[in-house]
Structure 1
Amino acid sequence: MKISINRLKDYIPFDQSPEEIADLLTASGLEVEGIASYESVKGSLKGIVVGEVIRCEPHPNADKLSLTQVDVGDRILPIVCGAPNVAKGQKVPVATVGTTLNPNDGGSFEIKKAKIRGEVSEGMICAEDELGLGASHEGILVLDTDLPNGSPVAPLFEISEAIVLEIGLTPNRADAASHLGVARDLKALLHKDLKMPDVSGFFVAREDRAFKVTVEDQKDCPRYAGLTISGVKAIPSPKWLQDYLKALDLEPINVFVDVTNFILHDLGQPLHGFDADKIGGAEITVRKLPKGTPFTTLDGKERILTGEELMICDNKGGLCMAGILGGQNSGVSDSTTTLFLESACFGADVIRKGAQHHGIKTDASFRFERGTDPNMPVFALKRAAMLICELAGGEISSGIVDHYPEPIEDVRIPVKYRHVDRLIGAVIDRSEIKTILKSLDIRVDQETEEGFLALVPPYRVDVTREADVIEEILRIYGFDSITLEENYQSEYLAEHPEKDQNKLQYRISETLAGMGYHEIITNSLSSSAFSAASGFLNAEEDVVILNKLSEDLDVLRQTLLYTGLEVLAHNINRRQKDLKLFEFGTVYFKKAKGFAEGNRLSLFLTGNSSKENWIHPVTEVGFPELYAVVEALLVKLNVPLPEVEIVEDTPYTYGLILRTNQQEIGKIGLLEQAVTRQASVKQEVFYAELDWDRLVRLAKKQEKFKEISRFPEVRRDLSLVIDQQVSFEELRQIANKAGGKLLKRINVFDVYKGDKVESNQKAYALSFYLQDDQQTLTDKLIDKTMNKLMAAFEKNAGALIRK
């Protein structure tokens, strides 16, 4: 959620810096995730000054250039200009040396002293598009101003700037989903009064376009208000309103839409405008339509109603899906001259169900789903009507219809002081408690020595229990204000298991980082579309989110693959194609009874092994590179090297299943193109997913010291001709059994397939490293070991030994 510091100051005047305000809000529970700046013109024309052309003559070496002398107040600048309309006596915008220009084409460049066709130029006379003010490039911009030469030009163009806070709003703080809501917290934190917008000038000019309102479902619509404005025009909004919306990343449309968006983000009250001439029977009915009724929304999509949606209707049918999205046939347009403006309070449950079923998420539904202030609709309606009349012309042509038969009262919560002291961990002065609550619009009633009755306004939908009231006291009082006693101590020392999963994870993370891998953390939420189209995930095991935030995030992930591929796609699309990534994450499964989850370690390798350079040629990453990393991790965990089995099933084009002690610890291989393209990745990706829980169980305590053998290592080579289907892993297992303790390691250094062997055969060149930790190996012992190996290969692998 974006909040403008400029607008906050209209509610609460303050001198604190944006950083100080961000710290205050974060400490009180409204976490500020970032601070950004908005400029209506990029660069805000900094360094651009008023200049006067006092001399203009043709360039001696170029037909289309002019030599000018420009007075910028404190000095006369020689400037070479290419504009055809430059002339002596003009007042012009001048970018001096060192100024950065931000033209409309999106680039930016710094003005430097230069020589152009042999003539010195110390600045630039600017055109409209070069300043980012418009699209014209027909000539320089000529200023009509009496400002002294050298004055900044920014005041001539109403340049606006804003500092914007990005607040990570938690679901419980629906009251803070607006500038007013954030200002209410600042009111309490800064001990200042809140200045509300003035609606005292609201008046009804005439009442000839009144609408009758009927609410059939009082529970789902406790309050509905509306009025009519006639004689309006759908014109563009003024610059101040457009800049306000742009600072919040909203696109201005026309004055009707922009005012309702302004009120929504300013006061937190969603509004909806109808073209009054399209409403049949001059009557509005809030009700539910029969199941199966088709309804076309503003986005042009026909939706089939379930019968549970709350609808705004006229005598012909549905006009709007209440609190979610308007209808195509009743919305305002450029031809609208009479506007019916709706301001209501809808039940959170009915809006949430309707929005989720139809996959619609709007700023209005976001607020209604969490709960809005039932006492705000009429105030917001007056404020919006006054703005529309001021900006779009017209006059209010009906009184306010306000259907609110059962006003929602304050929530009454008994609070005991001893509970306040116990939960906070400190005794706060009773008068300060009452001051804090008053600043939060929570009234204190029926106070005694033991406690009081808190009267909480309805807009605080999250404050319903005594503990909630105490939390409100603490967050304004300040968590940092609670001192910790020096004599606090633990009564016992906890025993820690020998295997610390966090330490193991840290060790592996360090190892991977040292190999050039970058750690990622992705969302546990994923899309059911992946499991449905994957071919290797069971869609029936998806853990479906009941209160899903969007259709794209509707299940918990069964694998780290797809969320990781989305990270790859994001980076590749930004020309970062050589990637080494890893992630520790949790996966989830639905079982016949209950649910299951597990921890996984994923590795992604794609692109080139190294950056381009003149010494070494660029080589693409391959399967052996990733397998070597996996093997190094197992060594780091002191887990026995795995037995492998070839896998060619989805999602791998080819790969291996890794097993240790007959337990599968993971899979590794090249991903199929069909799988990577599901996430819009169009280059080869090698992927490994390891069962981290199982690896932690298999990990053994590593010896800190190991004596290096004093006796030399011996190498012997063998050349074997074997069948194509015999793998190196099979040969390694045969060798480990036959070689005994003397065989330290085995390596394949050459593989041959060609016309010198049968078509169904291949030749392996293997090296064997023998060593005895107790004595120097003799030729007799070496030969005996090698003979055992050759016999084992011939017997168990059908190998032909080349001697």
Structure 2
Amino acid sequence: MRISLAWLKTLIPTDKTAAEIGALLTGSGLEVESQEELESIPGGLRGVVLGTVLTCERHPDADKLSLTTVDVGDGTPRQIVCGAPNVAAGQRVVVALEGATLYPTEGEPFKIKKSKIRGAASEGMICAEDEIGLGTSHAGILVLETELPNGTPAADYFGLRSDTVFEIGLTPNRADAASHYGVARELRALLRQPCHLPDVSGFRTPAAAESNITVTIEDPAACPRYAGLLLDNVHVGPSPEWLQRRLRSIGLAPINNVVDVTNFVLHELGQPMHAFDADQIDGGQVRVKRATGFLNQFATLDGVVRNLTAEDLVIADAEGYPMALAGVFGGKNSGVSESTTRVFLESAYFHPAVVRRMSQVHGLKTDASFRFERGTDPNMVPMALQRAALLLQEVAGATVAAPVVDEYPTPVLPATVRLRLPRVERLVGQHIAPERIRQILSDLEIVITQENPDAGDQDTWTLSVPPHKVDVTREADIIEEILRIYGYNNVALRPHNSASFLARFPNPDPEVTRVKIASLLSGQGFSEILTNSLTNSQYFESENGANESPVRILNYNSVELNVLRPTPLHSGLEIIRHNLNRRQRDLKLYEFGKAYQQTAAGKYLEQNKLVLYWTGHATAETWQHKSEKATFHHLAGAVQQVLAALGFGGAASQPVQHPYLAGGLTLLVHNQPVAQLGAVAASVLKRLDVTQPVWYAELDWDALSRKYKPVLVARELPRFPEVRRDLSLVVDAGVTFDQLRQIAQRAEKKLLQSVNVFDVYAGENLGAGKKSYSVSFTLQDFDQTLSEQAIDQVMQRLIGQFEKQAGAVIRR
């Protein structure tokens, strides 16, 4: 939300700087995310002043140039060469001094420098209006009629004022501050200065006239209040400069004077408004009703034909045909056009839930729906109508044709909240004097209706909260309001605050564990990505024989993002495709994300995953080494390091059975699958237009987190040496190294420290269906030096188990 400081100061006069106001608003919960300086014209005429031409003579070396001396108020006349035909002694002129940068109406900006023109020194420039961006004329220099002294900044003479625009990150609970007046009310409490609403005392309605447009609210629950006003003699056209400047300062493009006024009032008072062409209201009747009893197609102002449902609330004519989606968007056929002369102004209060639903269903996010769906002030409805009418009288020549029609069958009452003063101290953590609390509540327009209502309720107040504070309904909300204005920074840390050592909890903090693994992967050169949990259902239609049950959703904002992903794979492949298309081919990525499945009718499963992607080269090309393509084993090594960091080193494995992987492994911890890794199937890559192989790993983060118990094991460094022995084993081609490793670890649990394969060979001399593993074994005893006899006993035991369990033949 953008707030103009100049506009704000029309509602609450203050001499505070923009930085001071920004700090105050941020401290009270209206976070100022950025500040932008706006100037009426580029450059703000900095370095441009008023001056007087003292002398004017023809340039000795140029017939069309004049040599002048100009007084600019600093006691040292400047010699300036001027080419304007109308320059003369005694004129009051606009002078750009040396160092000033000018932004002409057309062309590029340029800087004024001391120079020589046809041999004569020139120390500035006497300006025409187009040269300083004030107009288009270049017929001659600007000649002024003014008594202002020389040296006066030109910006002061022309009334140019810069403005500061705050970008406020408005949270959903602060609907009361969604306007300039809402922010001014906040500053009133922070600065303890009065703020005021715009003056509408000049609003008058004809006493005898009656409106020929009636209003009927057919659903009071959805629309508690609806007011309207008929205006005649409206001349639709461009808005005056001041109104256009106000709208542009907050990022709105002016349209015409009628629409601009409704936008102006919305951003000034926070009350959305709509202007109907009164001659397009068939039957002279405005009906606020549900969209029933007519064809369900309705063309909105943007030209889009939308399908309405019976739950939509519309503003309809006498026949029930919709003219606008209530609180969201106007209709194409009833809006104001250049031919409009009669306008019916709408100012209403709609129930937030009704507007929120329509905005989401129809995918329409407007300034009006933004405010209505959070909650507006029903008491602002007539005020906004009067303000808009006065402005239209000023900028469009409108006249009020009839009294205000204000239907308010069920008034929205202030909320009643009970406040216990001891509770304030308990939640704030500091005593706040009752008089200060009373003052804050008064500044926030919260009325104390009763003090200590019951004999046993000491220091208890009954409060009446105005309707514009839609989110203040409980005692805790009141205390939050008090604390915001009192100031979070004013709550002091007590001198006795302390922290004591807490023993290690048996269950680790999941966020700490996640950061630990993220740091590990980032240290290995992986980059973290964050992708959308919503994806395209077409990815899962008969792809690779996959039998997925994606969770389908109705997403009116994007029909392509219509399922919750059953696997993060495709989201990451979209990132890889984006990078490949920009010639970024060597990628190592990881993501902590969620996957979703429909397990049965109405039953859903949500899982946390850690996924890794590796594609392109694993190592860069240098003068010493050629680049190396990423392989399955590179990715497997990264996954093993993650498991080892979680205390699950040496996980068992089995062939992968993942619907989108063409070969790979499933890793198991305590006989439960925790990771699947392998090459992404070619059909999947083709469907997503990924043009090179991708290695993918998907870890069950929920299972790993549940099993992870960080235990710090410390032992003294070994005093006795380790011993390595190697074996060459010929086995059937289907026997994996992991099977051999598990056989070895079961056969020798005390002395065997590690098992590693350092060569794999398959050839005709081994026989069909055979392969050879060269395996190393590291043995160590932490209590004594290993003897040859002990080593031989271990190796013979290992050989025997390999021969028995794996059918291995030992190559001598």
TM-score by length of 1: 0.76
Three-state SS of the structure 2 residue aligned to 1:475 is: helix
The yes-or-no answer on 1:701 pairing with 2:711 is: yes
The yes-or-no answer on 1:445 pairing with 2:449 is: yes
Q: Which residue number in structure 2 is paired with residue 472 of structure 1?
A: 481
1:264-663 to 2 correspondences below 5 Å: 264-290=266-292, 293-316=296-319, 317-448=321-452, 450-487=459-496, 496-497=505-506, 499-519=508-528, 526=534, 541=551, 580-585=588-593, 597-605=606-614, 624-644=633-653, 647=656, 651-652=660-661, 656-663=665-672
Q: Is the 8 A contact 2:86 2:140 kept in 1?
A: no
> Per-residue displacement from partner, 1:90-124 (whole Å, max 9, x unpaired)?
9999797796989999x999999999xxxx99999
Q: Which residue number in structure 1 is paired with residue 700 of structure 2?
A: 691
Q: Which residue number in structure 1 is paired with residue 736 of structure 2?
A: 730
Of 366-375 and 739-748, deviating more is 739-748
Three-state SS of the structure 1 residue aligned to 2:698 is: strand
1:738-749 to 2 correspondences below 5 Å: 741=752, 744-747=755-758
Deviation at 1:375, TM superposition (A): 0.9
Deviation at 1:319, TM superposition (A): 0.8
Q: Is the 8 A contact 1:734 1:796 kept in 2?
A: yes
The yes-or-no answer on 1:773 pairing with 2:775 is: no
CA distance in 1, matches of 2:809, 2:96: 85
Q: Which runs of 5+ in 1 are unaligned?
A: 60-65
Of 194-203 and 43-52, deviating more is 43-52
Of 245-254 and 789-798, deviating more is 789-798
The yes-or-no answer on 1:14 pairing with 2:17 is: no
Deviation at 1:202, TM superposition (A): 2.5
Q: Which residue number in structure 1 is paired with residue 260 of structure 2?
A: 258
Of 157-166 and 211-220, deviating more is 157-166
The yes-or-no answer on 1:170 pairing with 2:171 is: yes
Task: Give the paired residue count.
Answer: 774
Q: Is the 8 A contact 2:211 2:401 kept in 1?
A: yes
Q: Which residue number in structure 2 is paired with residue 190 of structure 1?
A: 191
Q: Which runs of 5+ in 2 are unaligned?
A: 453-457
Three-state SS of the structure 2 residue aligned to 1:771 is: strand
Q: Is the 8 A contact 1:97 1:122 kept in 2?
A: no
> Per-residue displacement from partner, 1:589-635 (whole Å, max 9, x unpaired)?
66668765444334455677689999988877665544433222223
User: Partner letter of residue 289 of structure 2?
Assistant: R
Deviation at 1:556, TM superposition (A): 7.0
User: Partner letter of residue 6 of structure 1?
Assistant: A
Q: Is the 8 A contact 2:291 2:308 kept in 1?
A: yes
User: Partner letter of residue 25 of structure 1?
Assistant: L
Q: Which residue number in structure 2 is paired with residue 241 of structure 1?
A: 243
The yes-or-no answer on 1:144 pairing with 2:142 is: yes
CA distance in 2, matches of 1:353, 1:683: 44
Q: Is the 8 A contact 1:534 1:651 kept in 2?
A: no
User: Partner letter of residue 169 of structure 1?
Assistant: L
CA distance in 2, matches of 1:522, 1:531: 16
CA 1:416–1:616: 2 relative to 1, 3 Å: same
Deviation at 1:537, TM superposition (A): 8.8
CA distance in 2, matches of 1:226, 1:665: 65
Deviation at 1:638, TM superposition (A): 2.8
The yes-or-no answer on 1:199 pairing with 2:200 is: yes
CA distance in 2, matches of 1:635, 1:534: 37
Q: Is the 8 A contact 1:612 1:618 kept in 2?
A: yes
CA 1:784–1:715: 2 relative to 1, 3 Å: closer
Q: Is the 8 A contact 1:530 1:678 kept in 2?
A: no
CA 1:239–1:577: 2 relative to 1, 3 Å: farther
CA distance in 1, matches of 2:61, 2:727: 85
Deviation at 1:201, TM superposition (A): 2.5
CA 1:231–1:638: 2 relative to 1, 3 Å: same
CA distance in 1, matches of 2:419, 2:224: 28
Q: Which residue number in structure 1 is paired with residue 455 of structure 2?
A: none
CA 1:701–1:114: 2 relative to 1, 3 Å: farther
CA 1:8–1:779: 2 relative to 1, 3 Å: farther
Deviation at 1:301, TM superposition (A): 2.9
Q: Is the 8 A contact 1:169 1:177 kept in 2?
A: yes
User: Partner letter of residue 773 of structure 1?
Assistant: Q
Three-state SS of the structure 2 residue aligned to 1:472 is: helix
Percentage identity across aligned positions?
39
Q: Is the 8 A contact 1:46 1:99 kept in 2?
A: yes
Three-state SS of the structure 2 residue aligned to 1:467 is: helix
Of 149-158 and 269-278, deviating more is 149-158
Q: Is the 8 A contact 1:98 1:110 kept in 2?
A: yes
Three-state SS of the structure 2 residue aligned to 1:11 is: coil
Q: Which residue number in structure 2 is paired with residue 4 of structure 1?
A: 4
User: Partner letter of residue 771 of structure 1?
Assistant: T
Q: Which one has the largest radius of gyration?
A: 2
CA distance in 2, matches of 1:797, 1:58: 109
CA distance in 2, matches of 1:786, 1:168: 73
CA distance in 1, matches of 2:653, 2:70: 80
CA distance in 1, matches of 2:182, 2:40: 26
> Per-residue displacement from partner, 1:251-282 (whole Å, max 9, x unpaired)?
33333333222222221111111122222122
Deviation at 1:572, TM superposition (A): 8.5
Of 508-517 and 30-39, deviating more is 30-39
User: Partner letter of residue 452 of structure 1?
Assistant: W
CA distance in 1, matches of 2:792, 2:130: 83
Of 143-152 and 247-256, deviating more is 143-152
Q: Is the 8 A contact 1:351 1:368 kept in 2?
A: yes
CA distance in 1, matches of 2:183, 2:328: 24
Deviation at 1:353, TM superposition (A): 2.8
> Per-residue displacement from partner, 1:736-778 (whole Å, max 9, x unpaired)?
53596376322458x99xxx989x9999896644433356898
Deviation at 1:322, TM superposition (A): 1.0
Deviation at 1:331, TM superposition (A): 1.5
CA 1:467–1:699: 2 relative to 1, 3 Å: closer
CA 1:267–1:659: 2 relative to 1, 3 Å: same
CA 1:686–1:789: 2 relative to 1, 3 Å: same
CA distance in 1, matches of 2:324, 2:301: 9
Three-state SS of the structure 1 residue aligned to 2:473 is: coil
CA 1:432–1:798: 2 relative to 1, 3 Å: same
CA 1:2–1:763: 2 relative to 1, 3 Å: farther
CA distance in 2, matches of 1:626, 1:127: 69
CA distance in 2, matches of 1:650, 1:357: 35
Q: Which residue number in structure 2 is paired with residue 62 of structure 1?
A: none
Q: Is the 8 A contact 1:70 1:77 kept in 2?
A: yes
User: Partner letter of residue 8 of structure 2?
Assistant: L
Deviation at 1:481, TM superposition (A): 3.2
Q: Is the 8 A contact 2:729 2:809 kept in 1?
A: no
Q: Is the 8 A contact 1:48 1:96 kept in 2?
A: no
Deviation at 1:489, TM superposition (A): 6.6
User: Partner letter of residue 257 of structure 1?
Assistant: V
Of 207-216 and 731-740, deviating more is 731-740
Deviation at 1:336, TM superposition (A): 2.7
User: Partner letter of residue 229 of structure 2?
Assistant: L
Deviation at 1:373, TM superposition (A): 0.7
Q: Is the 8 A contact 2:98 2:114 kept in 1?
A: no
Deviation at 1:441, TM superposition (A): 0.7
CA distance in 1, matches of 2:714, 2:112: 62
Q: CA RMSD of the aligned region, Å?
A: 5.8
